[in-house]
Amino acid sequence: MTISSNISLQPYNTFGIAASARYFSAVRSIQDIQELLHSIEYKNNKHLILGGGSNLLITKNVDALVIKNELKGIELIKETSDHVFVKCAAGEVWHEFVMWCINKNYGGLENLSLIPGCTGASPMQNIGAYGIEIKDTFYEMEAVHAETGELKTFSKTECEFGYRESVFKRKFKNQFIITSVTFQLSKHPVFHIEYGAIKQELDAMQISELNIQDISQAVINIRSSKLPDPKKIGNAGSFFKNPEVSFSVYENLKKEFPNLVAYPLENQNYKLAAGWLIEQSGLKGYRKGDAGVHVLQALVLVNYGNASGNEIYNLSTHVLQTVKDKFGVELEREVNII
Ligand code: FAD
Ligand code: EPU
């Protein structure tokens, strides 16, 4: 385990923002982490845990110790007649882990194919796509306490998962370094294809006998058709959350904007499609300098090359304000601002 100083973070964030870290260390084991916690650099500075850097917007040089999580390993830890329990180390690339499960015909994660980043960050915002969230197959996770160095196991309930939410973004923010996540996957996969676009894509693929490989491929096709590839154009996926509003707010908006895209929730509230709100505010494809609103998916902000983190942030403020002025709805940023 080594600690370097003044390291460029540009290769480590999918927005491709040029910024540096005061200190930087890659950790490959729990022992590495515990050793790092005893270092002067750790004790005298703030820290930032980094996975794939695909949910971050860096707005300034990071005056902290950046800890790059590179713990590797996938392990089958328990098996019953119906389920397998698979423990994945935090530094494994999420999509590679999903593919590993699909190749073994372990069902549950196929709808979450092609989400960038590492497994260790998946509980942070309870990653989700195409009708599934990790909470649906999450069993438990392990994390090192950032002060005591103790390894703690968290159950699903303790993680307090919500829509793009967990206890690690709130009460326990910056307090734990996630080292592994264990999923309970099905040996007899149940298919989740209710999400409209998946059905359409499967029809187009002319699948006769459905399996989880096909669902994964359908999700990959849909995502590739509208989400920008960070290797080609910097971005961090959806920049904002889809806002939740009360029934009366929804009803009033629907009267004024009959094409409003909204989904009813179990608690009687409605979730609005933020991408639709942004597009209807005239901002889809909007560009200021190298910071832009993606031309195919208005929920995604992009870096066309040399935008600074502040330029992207200022653009996000402009989007927030424009949507608020037109619809009276306040968007919330999903991406972690550093
Ligand atoms: P990072 O960006 O490195 O970190 C994110 C946050 O988690 C930071 O606060 C960081 O400090 C913290 N963190 C990271 N690892 C650890 C750890 N081991 N312990 C403690 N804290 C940690 N998200 C979705 O939910 N659904 C999608 O469909 C989706 N699509 C996307 C599409 C694109 C093109 C892109 C670029 C992003 C997308 N995202 C999506 C967002 C992103 O991929 C996920 O949030 C992902 O889980 C982030 O993983 P990461 O390793 O890159 O995290
Ligand atoms: N829409 C528009 N204009 C746009 C974008 C979207 O009108 O520019 C409309 C679409 O026509 C559709 C609705 O908005 O009717 C929803 O669009 P889409 O299915 O693309 O999903 P989303 O709500 O924009 C969410 C997640 C994504 C996830 C997809 C698929 C959030 C914040 N985003 O996007 O997650 O992949 O659904 O499940 O919940 C991420 O979190 O980074 C992310 C990419």
Q: Is 334 in the pocket of ligand 2 (CB under 6 A)?
A: yes
Domain span at residue 171 reads 74-186
What pLDDT score does 1 carry?
A: 82
Q: Is residue 149 part of a domain?
A: yes
What pLDDT score does 100 carry?
A: 98
Query: Is residue 29 located within the same domain as residue 109?
Result: no
- Give the CATH number, domain containing residue 278: 3.90.78.10
CA of 131 to the centre of ligand 2 (A): 11
- Give the CATH number, domain containing residue 144: 3.30.465.10
- Digit-by-digit pLDDT tens for the chain (338 residues) are 899 999 999 999 999 999 999 999 999 999 999 999 999 999 999 999 999 999 999 999 999 999 999 999 999 999 999 999 999 999 999 999 999 999 999 999 999 999 999 999 999 999 999 999 999 999 999 999 999 999 999 999 999 999 999 999 999 999 999 999 999 999 998 999 988 789 999 999 998 889 999 999 999 999 999 899 999 999 999 999 999 999 999 999 999 999 999 999 999 999 999 999 999 999 999 999 999 999 999 999 999 999 999 999 999 999 999 999 999 999 999 999 99
What pLDDT score does 207 carry?
A: 87
What pLDDT score does 194 carry?
A: 87
Q: Is residue 211 part of a domain?
A: no
Number of domains comprising the chain: 3
Query: Is residue 53 located within the same domain as residue 86?
Result: no
Q: Is 239 in the pocket of ligand 2 (CB under 6 A)?
A: no
Query: Is residue 79 located within the same domain as residue 182?
Result: yes
Query: Is residue 96 located within the same domain as residue 175?
Result: yes
**Scanning the structure block, which residue is given the tokens 């009708």?**
131
What pLDDT score does 208 carry?
A: 81
Q: How far apart are CA 92 and CA 327, in angstroms?
A: 41
> Considering 31, 46, 69, which residue would you say is the last residue of a domain?
69
> Considering 69, 95, 110, which residue would you say is the last residue of a domain?
69
- Give the CATH number, domain containing residue 54: 3.30.43.10
Q: Is 90 in the pocket of ligand 1 (CB under 6 A)?
A: yes
What pLDDT score does 188 carry?
A: 94
CA of 206 to the centre of ligand 1 (A): 33
- DSSP H or E stretch at residue 75: strand 74-79
Query: Is residue 83 located within the same domain as residue 54?
Result: no
Query: Is residue 49 located within the same domain as residue 152?
Result: no
The neighbour count for residue 332, using CB atoms within 10 Å, is: 12
Query: Is residue 147 located within the same domain as residue 80?
Result: yes
Q: Give the atom of ligand 1 at the shortest distance from the alpha carbon of 338.
A: 9
Query: Is residue 89 located within the same domain as residue 154?
Result: yes
Query: Is residue 158 located within the same domain as residue 247?
Result: no
Q: Is 91 in the pocket of ligand 2 (CB under 6 A)?
A: no
Query: Is residue 25 located within the same domain as residue 53?
Result: yes
DSSP per-residue string spanning 21-35: EEEEEEE-SHHHHHH
In the three-class reduction of DSSP (H, G, I as helix; E, B as strand; rest coil), residue 175 is classed as coil
Catalytic site positions: 164, 238, 334
Nearest to 186 by CA among 147, 142, 137: 137
Which tens digit of pLDDT belongs to each residue from 216-250? 999 999 999 989 999 999 999 999 999 999 999 99
DSSP per-residue string spanning 86-144: EEEETTSBHHHHHHHHHHTT-BS-GGGTT--SBGGGTTTTT-EETTEEGGGTEEEEEEE
The pair of structure tokens assigned to 209 is 């006998």
Q: Is residue 258 part of a domain?
A: yes
Contact yes or no for 33/179 (Cβ under 8 A): yes
- Name the pTM for this structure: 0.97
What pLDDT score does 149 carry?
A: 95
CA of 137 to the centre of ligand 1 (A): 18
